Amino acid sequence: MEGPRYASDGALRRRIYLFRHGDVSYVGDDGLRVPDPRIVPLTDWGQEQAKEMGGFLASVHFDKAACSGLLRTVQTAKGILGDRGLELVEIPEMEEIRSSSDRSKMPTTLAEAAYAFMIAHEPGATYRGGEAFQDFETRVLTGLQRILAWDDWHSLALVLHGGVNRIILSWALNTGLHSFGNFEQNTCCLNILDVDTDPATGEVMRTLVRGFNITAYDTARQNDHLTTLEAGAAKYRNLIAKK
């Protein structure tokens, strides 16, 4: 493990390299959603994204690496880490938000699918009839607190999901669910967070967002105008039409 870094006031400063998993497809060739989105693998493009990100960060040292444990985060982490030889720790609390499997609760319009995250802060709001955003936030932050309690890292690679990352970024900015829908997380993107803690107690003193939604491909976002939810919603046209 590399030596510790400290803020000007003596706080222990630790860095989290927070990634979203690479490209996947939740919709089959027939236009219908796959039966179990929890087990989808990376596409060929997703595998390439992970390898590109690994090359982009080849000079960056990681003390520890973790992911949610879902296949797409495991594959992305392995592509990024390459031959670093780090054990990959799985954090089940940080799996993606869960939508309902009941087709009657799916969005009835493209707008509902494309902007589902914008209602996260509303009382009782759920994601497509499934998990409540408030419960999701509690679950993810429980996992984050477990990570922050580990004392064996100063630089952490953390590979998670778009919704999970939004919770962590909202936590870092102290905005809660009100800003959940205002972040974009492209596939295999990188966010860089510093967390300052009291060296004696481990209490979080401050958080700093150093980088946001960085990709090794299309870094200037010149070819990127739709959000990931907007692009995904377009793939649900057949599903919505068949309801």
CATH of the domain at 152: 3.40.50.1240
pLDDT score at 231: 85
* Strand partners for 132: 126
Instruction: Let me know if residue 15 belongs to a domain.
Output: no
State pLDDT tens for residues 63-108. 999 999 999 999 999 999 999 999 999 999 999 999 887 766 667 7
pLDDT score at 166: 98
Question: Across residues 153-180, what is the average pLDDT?
Answer: 98
Instruction: Let me know if residue 3 belongs to a domain.
Output: no
pLDDT level of residue 142 (50, 70, 90 thresholds): very high
Question: Across residues 50-63, what is the average pLDDT?
Answer: 98
Name which residue leads in pLDDT, 60 or 111.
60
pLDDT level of residue 113 (50, 70, 90 thresholds): confident
> Residue 45: CA atoms inside 13 Å, Cβ hemisphere, count?
6
pLDDT score at 161: 98
Output the average pLDDT for the chain: 92
Question: Which of 194, 187, 189, 166 lies closest to 178, judged by CA?
Answer: 166
Instruction: Let me know if residue 58 belongs to a domain.
Output: yes
pLDDT score at 37: 80
Length reported for the chain = 243
| CA 44 from centre of chain | 20
**Pairing of the two strands 190-197 and 204-214:** antiparallel
pLDDT level of residue 29 (50, 70, 90 thresholds): low
Instruction: Let me know if residue 190 belongs to a domain.
Output: yes
Question: Across residues 8-12, what is the average pLDDT?
Answer: 98
Strand blocks (E) in 27-134: 64-67, 88-90
Does residue 61 register a pLDDT over 70? yes
Q: Structure pTM?
A: 0.93
Question: Across residues 5-11, what is the average pLDDT?
Answer: 98
Instruction: Let me know if residue 19 belongs to a domain.
Output: no
Query: How far, in Å, CA of 207 to CA of 13, rounded?
Result: 9
Q: How many domains does the chain have?
A: 1
Query: How far, in Å, CA of 175 to CA of 207, rounded?
Result: 12
Instruction: Let me know if residue 130 belongs to a domain.
Output: yes
Domain of residue 161 covers 24-241
Query: How far, in Å, CA of 152 to CA of 187, rounded?
Result: 28
Instruction: Let me know if residue 12 belongs to a domain.
Output: no
